[in-house]
Each structure stands twice: as structure tokens, then as C-alpha cells.
Structure 1
């Protein structure tokens, strides 16, 4: 799906055959109505009382005062900055995650019969993973299960598009009472009930059940005994706003979540006016972005200080992020257009929430780069036959804490650099094989957009990598329930295995003389160093040892 995205978009997952979705942060968005909400930021120790806001003619939508944040709805926004104690105001902006909709979702009946377990207890065990779940084998989940499969006392909140409650991979560990939808009415045609907890997009079911799905004949979550909380912050069109996400973060802490998992994000102008930037050239851009950044920073800091780990996907633009989430280069892989276009230049932006200090940020690696035949790609290939390669879409840099399997197209090149159908796929190396290059999991809807109880999909994206780390974190807390957020973060960052092969994936082309400039991979450039992909590949067995 290609879609026009608004200013702070970050696409974060990709699907079976055709799907690394692109985004452009200053374009109009289909599926979202006109913004009426505003985010107020103030110092937590100098709280602004809701009564003060109400007395001035505004409506308090979410009172997040513990973090120094409040969301209000108003028709007189110019008054907001004059409220005593308010230090900044930002309009509520939409973020877009991949509205994961495979062209042909797999149902149980379409899965290869040899890949179905006849064991009553499910296909995963302490000796082996389910046949489709190569990613769990790569991070040694069966060995971790010798110690624990999670605990109901560990609570993980997933902020995404909802959860299909009838899916066969969902167990009785779903805490529906603690779950909540933060979605508001928009012009998204697929959203018939914004208050519903169900997943009318598909993406949320995949991420949630990858963490804590039950052990079935098709798949298992990484920590199937973990309590799962579903916080719906993305509508059926895959769109969410800052206010929905901020409110859900605070709700996650309120209902006792020790881990928050987010496969979503966006970009803001948090470093003032940047003349070389395509997106941060006005005072308003800089002012709004800085306020939004501060709102996320204060909210996430509150969670971290009060015992909730926040895990986020690194993003799919293939840009380098410094330690503070700043985009370092002036090119991306098709962020705004599949050609040399100024909208692909993200310089001057910072990423949220992955760039916020303290967030555990996860980049994505592939399974193996299959070798292309002559004429299958437009510009050649790199890394043939190599494993654990940085996915062509994944962000990287000093901000990355760890990597995890995220899958990648067969030849690890962008879709628009493909000529053959095989290049564009997430398929086995041979007909009937089981070495898919995508990551397998439960999917919430069928190809008609209807809720589906037995649909699955092979996906790719940093959206797949983040819940992998969240699942491992849940296993760790089951073993060490008294561990602090700081201790847990340090443990996860050192609980890794080395990359199986040296990375060969190059950066996006930033040389203006390059034929690939400002829209795709620089096939002539030196590879990205492995040290810009975090400390290594997360390893479940090492984490629980």
C-alpha cells in the first residue's frame, strides 16, 4: 500500500508480498479528521489544574499531569500558552504505522500440512520451535523455555491497532479489563466502532501475539504465559495521533504494565529551525516539534522512573540516528517518493518514540540474503548468502540498543529496485521450502478486511523486531521479578549473540552525484558497520540464564 502521510509519520512494519509502506510527513493524510486537540506541556512540579483549563473554555481530554502533560480540545488555541504554568503547546499530530494488509493472508487451511504439529500441547517445545518461526530459533527461545515461559505476574502492554480477540493463537492471558481503545472518530471508512478493542487493521494482532500468543499447532508467542494488555492507539487505517499514544502510555503504567511495546513512531523538528532541512524550515515547525518531543520525553521518563520499560522499533526509513534520535544524513530509502525527491531528506528531524532517551530501540536484521539472478534487480545486489544482515529498510546508528530478526525481501533490496516477482517476495529459496525470509505470525484480518480467527502472515519490518525484544524482556522479569528498569535494560543489551556474518548492507545514497541519490540504497558505498546495529542480536537463552 502506498499512502500519503502527514508530518510526523513513521512506517514501521512490512508485509508478505508488497508492503514497505512509504510516508511523507507534511502531506495530508487520508483517514484522519481535522485536528482539534492540543498537547500542553508544563513542569510536573508546577502542575496546571484541570479546573483552570476548563474555566478558560477548554475541554480536558486526557489529564496526564503526573508527567506534566495534558491534552485539551479547544477552538481558541491561542489562549493555551497563556494558562499559568504552561511552558509549551503543540497541535495534536497523527502518526501512521503500517496498516498491514497482505495481498493473500494465509489461513490455517492454506498452511503446508507438514508444518502442522499433531501434538496437543502445540508445536513449540524446549527442544524446537514451530517450523515457520525461524526467528525464535535464531534467538534461542526453546533453550530459554527450559527456565521459563513467562508469568501471569508480568504484564506487557502493546500499543498498536488492537487485537482480534477470537484469534486461535490468543490464550486466556488476555487482560481485557485493563485494555482500552484511545481511538477517536475520524474519516477512516473502515472504523465502524472506535471504542472497540478489536483489530480492524491486522498489525496489532501480529505484534501482540508474537510476544504472548499461546502455544498452538501453528505458532507460539515468545512468552506465552505473560499477561497481555491491548491498548488500541491506531485506527483501522493505521493512523494514530500523539495524544492517543501519550494517553495510552500513562494508562499502561496505571494498569501495572512492566513493559510497553510499540511498533510505531514518527519524526519531529526538535532542534530549532534547520535551514538545510526539508521539514524544519519555519519557526512553527520548530516550536511544535520541540513541544511534542518534550511531551514524549516527560511521559516516557515518568514510566521509566516508575518501573515500566519502553521498547520501540527503530523505524523503516534506512536512516542513521545519533544517540539523541537525530537523523544524521540527507537521504532515506523512499520515505516520501520512489525517486530523487526533496521529501526523502529527513535531515533536521528526530524520531519519536524510538529516539527518546531511555527507550530500548530495536533495529531489524534479515534471515539470509538469497542470491539474485541476472535481470532480477535494477541495480545489482550486496551480501549474497550472508545472514543477520541489516534489513534494507531498518534505521541504524548510535541510538540502536539491540537488533532482532525483522525479516526482509528475498534479495534484501527495496521493492522499487526489484524487477522479478521473486525479488519482491518473502518466500522460500525453493518451491515447497520452509526457509521463508519473512517473519511468521498471527494476523488479525483477512484479505477482505474482516476479523479473522485463523489468519497468519509472513511480515518484514522493525515492527517485527521490537515485540521480539519485548517478549524476551517478559521472560527475564518472570525469572527476576524484582529487577528495575535500569537493570533490565542493561541485561537485555548484554544478552546478545554476535551477528553471524559481517554486515554488507550499504546506507541510503547521500552523494548528489550518485545515480541512487536521495531515494534508494547506495549500491556503490561501503557497508554500514555492525557497531551501528546495537550490541548484537537479542538472545533469549542468555537473557534468562
Structure 2
């Protein structure tokens, strides 16, 4: 099985092959380094961390220029400057400065155009409006019924005061099921490292991923196509996936700062930050990247944003990491040992809700990563149909959602589980106006349905290819965290 580059990554629901939907701790032997690309004359981007105030940030900018670099973007709110240079000694020069806390290359390949096409299965079910106003594709949305969305909608569809930021590959804002809910005034592209609010900049190009994620959160209840978990809330498209399928650190940093300053309630992050699947504190580049992204996430939390992220599709126990064979993904991956200091960004950062995936029968999806005290909750992400087959007309084990061009399709992954959680949180935020990130997190955990670990080693298919061991109790374990989210219980809790 190949490993995808976005978690964001999608899995073919009908089989066991992963399909691309983009991304990914010190360099291993044979792995590419930042200096390699710079030595060839290709420009590289860097995160430069300094003190979070105007004076120190401006001083850092001057030192960047004196070292032969240029400033791409500057976030003095968090003391992070995005710099560019083609000098392989650029980072080493800046590390000598007392102004600079840390410096790290944000990639191992030089800056260049990408071109990876996202693949997803397209539904052949008619998508036109129905005479009775019901959603034409609802019968195939096993995931929504699994978490009680149909019951929740008898109470609320969500509030327009709630904004969910989709940090992803863009949202098709003309889609019949999304147009009413996407707020252009809150949307932007972060692909330059700083926000671009031009409408075209945040529309999807090579990837359907963001549009699929958006539909799960808030596809309208309008008698067309599908319906999302919280169809009454607003969506903001924040494009952080480039045409090569990469989410580099500067894109994510820009996205979290944008979310904070535009008062989003929740962000959905169905990805990990490229090019390293895990960023290790002991590596100067990766350590600096972890610090910069952590500062951006913390800034968003202080601004009232609750961030939700995918746990990953590699069937890795995040509580017992040993090896990374997939990094760096923008040049040549190489195997390397990793440990607890090596973090999956943003899923393992403080305050972020990490989500694992389950299939139609409620068991952990064969691909889903997991980990005791790493995963907060679980949600439907789909599974191979041979492992967990839903009782639906299509009998497809993936998640059905929106695709660009008024289309609909199936996809699977923790990418698809995460927006279910974002949607439930949006319903909770709608029912609890003024609740901050910590209160919403507490409410989410309380409404989850506990799910016990399986007896013995989890071994879907019986071949040992996807075996995993679950640790913990019914109330908190590595596969399901506090349990499977329940939209019906989430909206009922506030009434009683």
C-alpha cells in the first residue's frame, strides 16, 4: 500500500489502495536536506522564529536581508517570519544571531510548480432536486445516520454565527450544496505564505479534497445531493494545499493566523504538514518548523478557535512511534528512527483534537492511525468495503460528499472523519453561544459514545497487514479516544 501525501488523503472505499487527496523528524541517511536544494541554486523557504513583538520582528527582518535572504511574510503577532534564500548557508548564518530563536527550512525541494491530480471516486447517483425536498443521496449517507445527524437536525441545523474554517485545497463556492454556506469575505489562499483574498485564489484547482471535506461539514439541507452535519453554519475556505498536493509549514501558519484574526469558531485540518510526516525536536530545521506551527496554533486558540485534525492514514500508533519511512515526501523519502519528540503536525500539538476513523460497522478503519492519549475521539471515515460494508443502496464503504462541478463522490480516510467532528463541534457551538475552545472540547468528549478496544490484536482481513493493538479503557483508548461522536446527543445535551 502506498502512503498518501494529504490526510487530506483519500482511500478507495471499494478496495485497499490509497488514492491521493497530499502530505506528512531529522533527516535520515540518504534523505534530502534543505542545503541540497539550495546548493543547486534553487530558492528555499525558511521559518525564522524570534520574539513576538514589533521591534524584534523588524530586527529579524533586517538580519534576514543582511544574510542574503528576502522576507516572504511576517507574523509579528507570533514572532514568525517566512524568509527565502538560495544560499545553502543562510540558516547557519541566522542561527548565530541573538535576535533569532530558531531557523528551519520549510521544505527539502526548491520552490517550483507542482502538478499532482487528486483522485476520488465519483458517484453515478442522480443529483437533481427531489419532489418532496429530501436529499437525493441521503440513503447512501450511512455515516450521517451512524452518528445521529438525522435526529440532531430535528433540533437544529446549526447557527449562522458559527464559522468553520476548512484549511484544505479550496472549496468550490459555486457548488449547489455549498454556495449558500461558503462565506467569501472570510476565505483566502495562503499559498504565497500570506493571505490572498481574491476569489479565484481560494477555489480548487488540482484537488477535490477541500470540497469533499466541506460537504461533510455543512452541505445544505436543500433537497439537492447530500446534507452535512451542520448545514446551518458558515464555511470559510482557506487554501493551504498547493497544486503539487503539498501543505508546507508557511501555508499552515498563514491559515491558523487567518483563522484567529477572522474569529473562526472551528478549523478542520485534514492533513499533516509537509515535507516530514513527523517533525523531530532534535533536528534544527524540523524543530524550528514545529515551534513556528505551534505558535500559530496557540495564537488561534487564544483567539477563540478550536482546531480539529486528522490522526493519519498510516495505521501508526502515535503513542509508540519507532520509524518513519515516508519522509521527506517532496524529494526522496528515507527510513529513520523516530521517538516521542517527533510530532505529527498539527494533530499532536497541544489543544488540537486528533481524530481517528471508523467504518460502517463502527470498528477502527484498517488504515487509521491511533494512540492512547493521542486520539481524542473517533468518527466515520470509511473503510474498505470488504472489511465494513454498509447497508445502503450503493453498499460503498466510503464517505459520500460533494465534489467540484456539482458532483458527488466517495472517499475514505481520517480526512473524512475529521469533518464529521468539526460538524458536531459546530452544532455544539451553535447550542452553546459564547463557549470557548476548552468548553467545546469538554462538551465534545462528554457527548461521545464510549467504544471498547477489540479483544486481542486488531487484524482486519486476517493477514496481519493491518494489525494494531488498542490500549486503554472503554472511556479512553487508543483506537477511539473518548468514543465515537454523536450529533444527536450533542444537541440534546443542552436542552435537558
Q: Please classify the TM superposition score into its range, dividing by the shorter chain length.
A: 0.7 to 0.9
1:35-434 matches, cutoff 5 A: 36-44=44-52, 48-50=56-58, 52-54=60-62, 56=66, 58-76=69-87, 77=90, 78-93=92-107, 100-102=118-120, 104-106=121-123, 110-111=124-125, 118-119=130-131, 121-123=133-135, 130-184=138-192, 195-215=201-221, 216-266=223-273, 267-272=277-282, 286-322=283-319, 327-330=320-323, 343=335, 349-367=342-360, 387-397=361-371, 398-412=373-387, 433-434=393-394
For 1:58 and 1:342, the matched residues in 2 are separated by 29
Q: Deviations over 1:273-330 (max 9, x none)?
A: xxxxxxxxxxxxx1111111111211111111220001000001111112xxxx5244
Contact 1:97 1:264 survives alignment (8 Å):
no
Alignment gaps of 5+ in structure 2: 194-198
Contact 1:183 1:194 survives alignment (8 Å):
no
**Which of the residues 486, 490, 493 maps onto 1:543?**
490
**Which of the residues 426, 438, 445 maps onto 2:398?**
438
Secondary structure of the residue that 1:392 maps to in structure 2? coil
User: What is the Cα-based RMSD across aligned positions, in Å?
Assistant: 3.7
Contact 2:50 2:57 survives alignment (8 Å):
no
Q: Is the alpha carbon distance of 1:88 and 1:154 closer, same or farther for their aligned partners in structure 2, counting shifts above 3 Å?
A: same
Alignment gaps of 5+ in structure 1: 186-192, 273-285, 368-386, 413-425, 445-452, 509-514
For 1:40 and 1:439, the matched residues in 2 are separated by 39
For 2:116 and 2:470, the matched residues in 1 are separated by 27
Contact 1:179 1:231 survives alignment (8 Å):
yes
For 2:328 and 2:250, the matched residues in 1 are separated by 24
Q: Deviations over 1:125-145 (max 9, x none)?
A: xxxx91111111111112222
| TM-score normalised to structure 2 length | 0.80
**Who is 2:426 aligned against?**
474
For 2:403 and 2:427, the matched residues in 1 are separated by 23
**Who is 1:485 aligned against?**
437
Deviates more, 1:10-19 or 1:295-304: 10-19
Residue-pair matches, total:
449
Contact 2:168 2:240 survives alignment (8 Å):
yes
Deviates more, 1:193-202 or 1:203-212: 193-202
Give the CA deviation at 1:218. Answer: 1.9
**Which of the residues 477, 481, 486 maps onto 1:534?**
481
Q: Deviations over 1:160-209 (max 9, x none)?
A: 11112222211322111221112249xxxxxxx99352343101100012
| TM-score normalised to structure 1 length | 0.73
Give the CA deviation at 1:147. Answer: 2.3
For 1:99 and 1:389, the matched residues in 2 are separated by 31
For 1:496 and 1:260, the matched residues in 2 are separated by 19
Give the CA deviation at 1:40. Answer: 1.0
Q: Is the alpha carbon distance of 1:270 and 1:41 closer, same or farther for their aligned partners in structure 2, counting shifts above 3 Å?
A: same
For 1:310 and 1:212, the matched residues in 2 are separated by 17
Q: Is the alpha carbon distance of 1:496 and 1:199 closer, same or farther for their aligned partners in structure 2, counting shifts above 3 Å?
A: farther
Q: Is the alpha carbon distance of 1:408 and 1:346 closer, same or farther for their aligned partners in structure 2, counting shifts above 3 Å?
A: farther
**Who is 1:384 aligned against?**
none
Contact 1:174 1:227 survives alignment (8 Å):
yes
Q: Deviations over 1:237-276 (max 9, x none)?
A: 322211011111101111221111110004334242xxxx
Give the CA deviation at 1:441. Answer: 0.6
Give the CA deviation at 1:538. Answer: 0.5
Q: Deviations over 1:95-122 (max 9, x none)?
A: 99996413x522xxx21x6x97624544
**Who is 2:196 aligned against?**
none
